[in-house]
Amino acid sequence: MDTTRRSSRLRTRTVLALSAALALSLTAACSSSSSGNGAANPAAAGSSAADALNTPTTLTFWTWVPSIQTTVNAFEKKYPNIKVNVVNAGQSAAEYTKLQTAIKAGSGAPDVAQIEYFALPQFALSKQVVDLTQYGAASLKSGYTASAWDQVALQGGIYGYPQDTGPLTMFYRTDIFKSLGLTAPTTWAEFAADAAKIHAADPTHYITSIDPGDAGGVDSLIWQAGGKPFQTTGSTSVNVNLKDSGSAKFSSMWTSLLSKKLVDPTPGWTTDWWKSMGSGKYAMWIAGAWAPGSLETTIANTKGKWGVAPVPQWTAGDNVSAENGGSSDAVVSTSTHKAAAAAFAAWLNSSAEGAASLNSIGLFPATTALLNSSTFLDQTFPFFNGQKANQVFAASSKAVAAGWQYLPYQVYANSIFKDSIGQAITNGSDLSAALGTWQTGISQYGTQQGFTVANG
């Protein structure tokens, strides 16, 4: 099941150890508080937040970030009246199932829940999470990157605080490229040419693999190609167009590579796949900026052989990127302590202290103050042979194409990805036809659910 694979990603990705010693040097993170208590306090976006934080309250927080207790402890130390119970209720779809059930049942749901960006619109639409505008969320907008904020500012409200992001990046084997006299591709045309050269030099080697079960990965590639296949056009109407120009760019290039067997159609995150990654079978991996931790821990033997570069461009000289993965923290509609829950979520993700702590436990930041800080940008990565990888990630974060949206039922849409695109990737058949099949499945489900679905 998708969850198994995904959860292994999330587990590994959250073991990231990007940078440890950022915390206290960063102070200018956020809009200053109106409550006037010395330190910058994003939580106190109004007196109600300050009141809530001073009232003894116990909150429940569902998240699958393993070491997040560290950050929560810092919060509890600062606001001793609030006690936060951290609960791991499963990862991704497993958590959403429980969350939806608990909200429907009216009891057992947490106050704050981690929800990935692709799933947030669904919770927002059904009002299972709270519009944080009423708790002053709008004032925190300037603290976040535009690409992160765009993913929580939905349907006319603000339904979560960005917890981490995954700007798309190219991780490549410098040794392999060097041995073939190649440099890292800067355009997709160069990528395709290199794919042929790498496979010709050794028929068991490929430039990269493509995962037939990873809808998020393909979404990111379409996003980076300028596609906007999923649009919410009204409260009950959506537009699904997996034939737009971005989707077409994606499908024609990857169909060609797959049909010539120049990329390897293999599910990621399996033992087989990691062994191939470690053995040099794949010369690169295009993934979110959360990837370094997984690489460092799983294939430590390749330390120093990897480099980081921007994603190849469709037009030479352009600088366009996309997001891959990432989560928000949302306040659940059944919470009886919404003000305190909103203040906690705000502090966790917006405050300099919270953001730095999240980064230290392995999450790639969503706040601009951290992304622009010199401590962060100048950090060297031994795994990437001393490269200052955060500079590439931060640049990618700034270059994310605007206007991407997920459907208010993307969880289901992604689940049936493997039934169409997954099959085509595995068989090396026409991806454009498969995108059409996926579009039909997504549209039929939408109609069934009461949406007006257009395909324009």
Residues in contact with another protein by the rule CB under 8 A:
1-2, 4-5, 93, 97, 100, 122, 125-126, 211-214, 236, 265, 267, 270-272, 275-276, 408-409, 411-412, 415-416, 418-419, 422-427, 445, 448-451
Task: Pull the structure tokens for residue 92.
Answer: 């991704």
Residue closer to another protein (CB basis): 372 or 437: 437
Question: What is the closest distance, in whole angstroms, from the C-beta atom of residue 35 to another protein in the complex?
Answer: 39
Residue closer to another protein (CB basis): 218 or 389: 218
Bridge partner list, 367: 144
CA angle (263, 223, 252) in 5-degree steps: 45
Residue closer to another protein (CB basis): 187 or 437: 437
Question: What is the closest distance, in whole angstroms, from the C-beta atom of residue 11 to another protein in the complex?
Answer: 13
Bridge partner list, 114: 329
SS3 label, residue 373: coil
SS3 label, residue 49: helix
Question: What is the closest distance, in whole angstroms, from the C-beta atom of residue 242 to another protein in the complex?
Answer: 18
The secondary structure of residue 422, as a DSSP letter, is I
Question: What is the closest distance, in whole angstroms, from the C-beta atom of residue 447 to another protein in the complex?
Answer: 9
In order of 240, 257, 428, the CA distances from 174 in angstroms are 39, 22, 28
d(CA 227, CA 431): 15
Residue closer to another protein (CB basis): 45 or 299: 299
d(CA 396, CA 399): 5
d(CA 12, CA 291): 9
Question: What is the closest distance, in whole angstroms, from the C-beta atom of residue 423 to another protein in the complex?
Answer: 5
Strands 284-287 and 153-154: unpaired
Question: What is the closest distance, in whole angstroms, from the C-beta atom of residue 192 to another protein in the complex?
Answer: 22
Question: What is the closest distance, in whole angstroms, from the C-beta atom of residue 271 to another protein in the complex?
Answer: 6
Question: What is the closest distance, in whole angstroms, from the C-beta atom of residue 100 to another protein in the complex?
Answer: 7
Residue closer to another protein (CB basis): 102 or 345: 102
In order of 123, 335, 342, the CA distances from 102 in angstroms are 13, 11, 19
Residue closer to another protein (CB basis): 83 or 260: 260
SS3 label, residue 116: strand
Residue closer to another protein (CB basis): 272 or 378: 272
d(CA 383, CA 273): 19
Residue closer to another protein (CB basis): 297 or 427: 427
Distance of CA 12 to the CA centre of its chain: 14
d(CA 366, CA 372): 11
